[in-house]
Structure 1
Amino acid sequence: MTRRLLLAVLLAVTCTACGGAPSGTSAADGAVTLGFSAWPGWFPWQVAEEKGLFARNGVKVNLKYFDSYTDSLTALATGAVDANSQTLNDTLASVSGGAEQTVVLVNDNSTGNDQIIARAGITSVAQLKGRTVAAEQGTVDHYLLLLALDKAGLTEKDVTFKPLPTDAAAAAFKAGQVDAVGVFAPFTTTALELPGSTAIATSKDFPGAIPDHLVVARELATSRPEVVQGLVKTWFDTLAWMRENPAEARTIMARRAGVSEQAYADYDAGTTIFTLEQNREAFASGDLERQAKEIAAFLTTAGLADTEPSLDGLFDPRFVQGVSS
């Protein structure tokens, strides 16, 4: 299979590895830039900003929302942001290219909100053979597509793969330009507006395959651990605030997602937010390392990475351990 590593990230990481990019964007006032994009497990960061929870934990944060998930990956790889919420497989792809990144928090596991959606008449992944399928090349739903094809006894060579940014892929599918699409919420809502369309595979079919994390530049975790600790503490404070104020929290997140509150409510089951206890268990039990090894092997076999990335320094448990219960 031809190499499918996301080109923008590869080029960005290559520049970083060569020393041509900054190691971080910490401002003169000590503020750090935290990136996130359209995913239900990351919208709580919007709540944190609007309710002043970063400041309560003594961290100055420039929260940067990316319309394009790919752009957020590139931003962390080049040092344009100090931290970003992203999937484990995309982190491993960046690390494989030379980026020095560290996972400090498990935001969630995708349990259905990543989907392969097909037009009417296609009811199984096996029926994608010979069809045109769109997804954002080298990122999470391309990965889900490869997992689903493999489970059905197919490879990417059995379909015509059309690489498009996630929003454009959803729009192309809705317009009838492709037979199927790999997208994540909230773009699933757009894709499912095509009459007769249905999800033929989701992340629920592959438990634990798509975990989502807060990932920081390794230099930040080394030189300013108190800032990373503040970010992690803010996350759990935000989850606590959301539990006490569910209606207001949903309003904030739905507005950021650009969907109705009812549509946002429909995403709940498809994203499993990790508690502090689940975070500690994930780091302590070796589950994260196991997942990373499985994903790294698959990325290499499927051609999404040239070599398996090193896991040395990839996971740092001290920040979830440092949050008071």
Structure 2
Amino acid sequence: MISRRLILPAAILLVLSAACAGEKPAAPTAAAGASKVRLGFSAWPGWFPWQVAEEQGLFAKNGIDVELKYFDSYTDSLNALATGNIDANSQTLNDTLASAAGGAKETVVLVNDNSTGNDQIIARDGIKSLADLKGGTVAAEQGTVDHYLLLLALRKAGLTEADVTFQPLPTDAAAAAFVAGRVDAVGVFAPFTTTALKRPGSTTIASSADFPGAIPDHLVVSRDMIGRDAKSVQALVTTWFDTLAWIGQNRQKAMEIMARRAGVSVAEYQTYDKGTTIFTLEQNRAAFADDLPARAEQISDFLLSSKLVDTAPSLEGLLEPRFVQAVQP
């Protein structure tokens, strides 16, 4: 997704003389006896830096043994964390709240980014606004972030989900159905926006840029992991900021790694620039102190009123700022 417009100033240079000579430096190994952490992520530009961290040995540099698991289906990653099949996952705040409403014990420990345009409602030729969508069919992944975006956009336009025919499909299948002409519009996130916009005449009629701060993306860990292995949680958070510093110093190489993981060209990946704002350490600390508590309450109320959840999620233990506070700038 990304040019790092708000990336951390590089504090640590990891370019070794071998790399300057075109050779790949040997990756460091995790400390003997380090516990293995199962970390999930899926197709979103704000989470692809985890691929960089793995390929550049940055987890091991911080003494943590990570089993990085990529999920083709974002929903599967949510379910994996909620059921204890992974220890940590990158996911949105609203999806974390939805899991909490279902009884999952999860905690946000890091803000990866805010979606600032890379979540989109894309419509076929002839539909130029949300009002034009009335009576049409819209596909999105039910109960997840772009379903949420659809409801926000419809509400802003004076409509409800009852004014459209909603077709629940996994995000990749939703994009494919739209391109094939089987639905009138689709709610998708990058890189699936690239797929959807290949339909001739298609256009974006709403995006997360219209709702600043509505879709924050996070590293979320199980409550159990914090209790049994807070040291590894700290290592994950520290590795994230080391990774941003490495990307800032090795942009071209990083772009190649992330574009490859996304399944798009580097040029296509660069188009995701404005749509994702990566949070610096300072922005993380400010978000935990000011914005996130209020944002969590706001999203919780919306999920309940829109019937995306049956009961209000508990916000107790949802946000834990101590790990970003402990990172050395």
TM-score (ref. length: structure 1): 0.91
Q: Distance between the aligned counterparts of 1:215 and 1:143, measured in 2?
A: 19
Query: What SS is found at the alignment partner of 2:128?
Result: coil
The answer to whether 1:300 aligns with 2:328 is no
RMSD between aligned residues: 0.8
Decide whether aligned partners of structure 1 residues 112 and 290 sit closer, same or farther in structure 2, where only a CA change above 3 A counts: same
Residue 124 of structure 1 aligns with which residue?
A: 129
**How far did 1:310 drift?**
1.0
Among candidates 150, 170, 174, match of residue 145 of structure 1: 150
Q: Distance between the aligned counterparts of 1:128 and 1:161, measured in 2?
A: 11
Q: Distance between the aligned counterparts of 2:84 and 2:133, measured in 1?
A: 39
1:210-230 CA distances to partner (integer Å, 9 max, x unpaired)? 000000001111221100000
Matched to 2:299, the amino acid is I
1:111-136 CA distances to partner (integer Å, 9 max, x unpaired)? 00000000000000111110000000
Query: What SS is found at the alignment partner of 2:158?
Result: coil
Q: Distance between the aligned counterparts of 2:195 and 2:117, measured in 1?
A: 16
Residue 134 of structure 1 aligns with which residue?
A: 139
Query: What SS is found at the alignment partner of 1:42?
Result: coil
User: Residue 59 of structure 2 contacts residue 65 of structure 2 at CA under 8 Å; is this kept in 1?
Assistant: yes
Matched to 1:103, the amino acid is V
The aligned runs of 1:66-77 (5 Å cut-off) are 66-77=71-82
Matched to 1:80, the amino acid is N
1:268-303 CA distances to partner (integer Å, 9 max, x unpaired)? 110000000000111122x10110000000000000
Among candidates 223, 228, 231, match of residue 223 of structure 1: 228
Residue 101 of structure 2 aligns with which residue?
A: 96
Percent identity, aligned pairs only, is 73
**How far did 1:189 drift?**
0.3
Q: Distance between the aligned counterparts of 1:278 and 1:250, measured in 2?
A: 23
Residue 310 of structure 1 aligns with which residue?
A: 314
Q: Distance between the aligned counterparts of 1:322 and 1:59, measured in 2?
A: 17
Q: Distance between the aligned counterparts of 1:281 and 1:137, measured in 2?
A: 31
Residue 325 of structure 2 aligns with which residue?
A: 321
Matched to 1:292, the amino acid is A
**How far did 1:188 drift?**
0.2
Runs of 4+ aligned residues of structure 1 deviating over 4 Å after TM superposition are none
TM-score (ref. length: structure 2): 0.90
Residue 200 of structure 1 aligns with which residue?
A: 205
